[in-house]
Structure 1
Amino acid sequence: MIDRFSDLSNSLLCHILSFLTTKEAVATSILSRKWKTLWTLVPKLDLDTDNMHLSLDKIGECNEPINISYTDVLSRVLALHIAPFIRSFRLRCNSDCPPFHFDTWIRTAIARNVEELKLLIFYSFGIHMGLPCSIFYCQTLVALELSGGIDLDPPSSFQLPNLKILRLLEIYYCKDSSCFSRLLSGCPVLEDLSFERDGYDCLYHFEISVPTLKCLHIAFRSYRLDLNDYTIEIKAPALEYFKFEGDLGHIVLLKKLDNLFEADVYICSFDESDSLEESQKRCYGDRVFKLLRALTTAKFLLLFPGVTECFVFGSIYPSKFLNLVQLDFKLNPSNWHVLQALLLVAPNLEVLVVDKCYYKSKDKLC
């Protein structure tokens, strides 16, 4: 069989290897002499401590296989990796990973002018992972994703001058929500923010003030509607895309969204098992319509209303959607009146997409 792959240039082969995890890329070193060190030139590292229990002979010069720990394997991989820069660095590990090794790996990526950094930390044994300060001073970082058992506590003064994409997925905040606001204040060109939170962090006030922000995705899951008394203040005049999903609290938009192009709203509702008073249900319904009223400048609107008791009890209907040209609506037997109300306030609507959405699960999302 003719080996046509080996005739390709190293740059093209490295591009092909960049679609693999680092473990898979290292495994190609047994193919031939040319492939032996090719993985060390790939400007991407995708590392997972759960599958990095390799043998040293796969990544070094040892003739005999020697079983070593994942920390030694990762350290060896980074030591052998000689690409002049790292375009993407992704690390999945448990929160009980030794801090010294964790900090060393991150500092190595930053020293190689990393552009995209993803840290997925699995929470274990009540341990959270702190971040090395060097992250907050990385001049080349364009995208940052933090997920899981991470404690966020940025310095009082720092700047990520090129960061455009930020994902904060159910992480922990060391002191209070000011850590969140402080992080945003150090991102002068941020354009895309995803902010996911569960109900266990006991934080109830967040401020999002980013003049350059174009895309905002918020996901709040409290699991109990009586814990939804949180407030998010948003000041993002350049916002073009907005998405909310989960249990709705108080969302206050401090600036009119004149540039809003699309809004997707996946709202959780309540069912018969939720022991809420009528006044609480009415308050929740009003929150829904207040949010819609803040989105009236959108051209495209997608609604997943869930079980729409929240709309039944709400008393504040949105003003006119004068810019709306397309409405995607998930219909169930109890929300016809919502669709009718929206059609009355969208005089320039051109496209209406209606899908059936039968809702029975306890999860509360369609």
Structure 2
Amino acid sequence: MGMAAVVVCNGDDGGGCRLWGMVAVVVDYGEVVTSMASSTAIVRPETASDPARLANVNPRVRRQMGRNEDRISNLPSSLMAHILSFLPTKDAVATGILSTKWKYTWTTITNLDFDDELLLESINLQKCTKRKLRVVEMSFINFVNRVLLRNLTDLHTFRLRCTRSYDVSNLNFFISTALARNLRELHLFLEMEGYNGLPREIFTCTSLVAIELVGRFVLNVPTLVRLQNLKTLVMKTLEFSDDDSINRLLSGCPLLEEFSIRSSDLKNISVFHISAPALKSLVLNCWSMGGYKFVLNTPNLQDLQYHDYIAEGYSMNKLNALVNADIGFVSRGHHVPEKLVAEFV
């Protein structure tokens, strides 16, 4: 089991002593990864071993060293949980070893952030056997499962990043469990191969206000989409199944204000129809060879970024509310028609 010390420094008194606001100890991912100690004064080893240098340490620092006061643990539990919500979940969970008061604080955090890269970064994948790698991957799945079973509070943010191939049923269970906690923001980075479909609950979670989807999989949108409170939708490197998938998705998001599609595959789209009355910001940056007709019905659009090959045709309402536009066309050897440019002016 490897171990390493991590420290966050608040300042230097100039006399060979530093005041540390946090001390973290990194150990095995499946158990404890990081723990935080008290706001205390820690002298450098070379200073502690030299009485003459130690005598020069600022008296204020020496007094704090003597008190060894645990200021963090004296904070209200709600504030402690709020602070932990800004850490990667593996770090937040690890604080449970500090004391009785810290033991269950992480079970009330409202932001959950799981990233298997944090687990794999210390492993030499080229030298790792398949059996060992599978054990490591399962430790990640088991960790996420344990946290979701222990943390039963309503969630503000759920972020899941997976770069390895996992059982789809496990991933969809994690996503569905988070959605059931009145989730407000969902961020999914499913970069592994073989993922074949999001759980349907994503499309009917009325508490969601922001969704970010990144991954190389086909976005199959069900018939029923009910995202009445969704205001931000970001998609990257996805593939759309057909024209209706986009139409069904947007029709179920009446309050959508920000819509972004980047590096996504539009080869299955013949008519790219964006109809969103409340939309204020649109980013379309796909470079899809333009094999579709682009229809834009966004009367309140204020910011537009559109980079792609020239489409087969364009149809759009007057963009009277437009304030900023960043337009980039690639014409595949032909000049950009002036009439087309006028559509965006």
Q: State the TM-score, normalized to the length of structure 1.
A: 0.66
Match of 1:87 among 144, 156, 176: 156
Q: In the TM superposition, what whole-angstrom CA distance separates every residue of 1:135-167 from its partner, at most 9, and x where no partner exists? A: 111111111111112321122133111111111
Structure 2 residue aligned with 1:121: 190
Q: How does 1:74-223 map to 2 (within 5 A)?
A: 74-83=144-153, 85-94=154-163, 96-124=165-193, 127-174=194-241, 176-198=242-264, 201-222=267-288
Residue 343 of structure 2 corresponds to residue 294 of structure 1? yes
Q: Rate the CA distance shift 1:87–1:199 in 2: closer, same or farther, 3 A.
A: closer
Match of 2:82 among 15, 20, 25: 15
Residue 95 of structure 2 corresponds to residue 42 of structure 1? no
Q: In the TM superposition, what whole-angstrom CA distance separates every residue of 1:267-316 from its partner, at most 9, and x where no partner exists? A: 2658xxxxx6xxx422xx22xx44542332xxxxxxxxxxxxxxxxxxxx
- Does structure 2 conserve the Cα–Cα contact (< 8 Å) formed by 1:52 and 1:73? no
Distance 1:183 1:258 in 2: 25
Structure 2 residue aligned with 1:72: 142
Structure 2 residue aligned with 1:358: none
Structure 2 residue aligned with 1:29: 96
Q: Give the 3-state SS of the residue equivalent to 1:90 in structure 2.
A: strand
Distance 2:182 2:140 in 1: 24
Identity of aligned residues (%): 36
Q: Which amino acid aligns with 1:169?
A: K
Q: Rate the CA distance shift 1:78–1:96 in 2: closer, same or farther, 3 A.
A: same
Distance 2:94 2:287 in 1: 40
Q: CA deviation at 1:123?
A: 3.8
The structure that has the greater radius of gyration is: 2
Q: Which amino acid aligns with 2:139?
A: S
- Does structure 1 conserve the Cα–Cα contact (< 8 Å) formed by 2:282 and 2:304? yes
Q: CA deviation at 1:37?
A: 1.8
- Does structure 1 conserve the Cα–Cα contact (< 8 Å) formed by 2:152 and 2:181? no
Distance 1:141 1:113 in 2: 8
Distance 2:264 2:203 in 1: 24
Q: Which amino acid aligns with 2:258?
A: D
- Does structure 2 conserve the Cα–Cα contact (< 8 Å) formed by 1:206 and 1:233? yes
- Does structure 2 conserve the Cα–Cα contact (< 8 Å) formed by 1:131 and 1:151? no
Q: Which amino acid aligns with 1:259?
A: A
Q: Rate the CA distance shift 1:133–1:229 in 2: closer, same or farther, 3 A.
A: closer
Q: Rate the CA distance shift 1:135–1:218 in 2: closer, same or farther, 3 A.
A: same
Distance 1:69 1:154 in 2: 32
What root-mean-square deviation, in Å, do the aligned CA atoms of Structure 1 and Structure 2 show? 2.5
- Does structure 2 conserve the Cα–Cα contact (< 8 Å) formed by 1:153 and 1:173? yes
- Does structure 2 conserve the Cα–Cα contact (< 8 Å) formed by 1:71 and 1:101? yes
Structure 2 residue aligned with 1:281: 334
Structure 2 residue aligned with 1:51: 118
Residue 318 of structure 2 corresponds to residue 249 of structure 1? no
Q: Which amino acid aligns with 2:316?
A: L
Residue 315 of structure 2 corresponds to residue 262 of structure 1? no
Moved more, 245-254 or 37-46: 245-254
- Does structure 1 conserve the Cα–Cα contact (< 8 Å) formed by 2:278 and 2:298? yes
Distance 1:160 1:86 in 2: 17
Q: Which amino acid aligns with 1:146?
A: L
- Does structure 1 conserve the Cα–Cα contact (< 8 Å) formed by 2:299 and 2:321? yes
Moved more, 248-257 or 106-115: 248-257
Q: CA deviation at 1:231?
A: 2.6
Unaligned 5+ runs, structure 2: 1-39, 41-68, 121-134
Unaligned 5+ runs, structure 1: 54-65, 271-275, 297-366
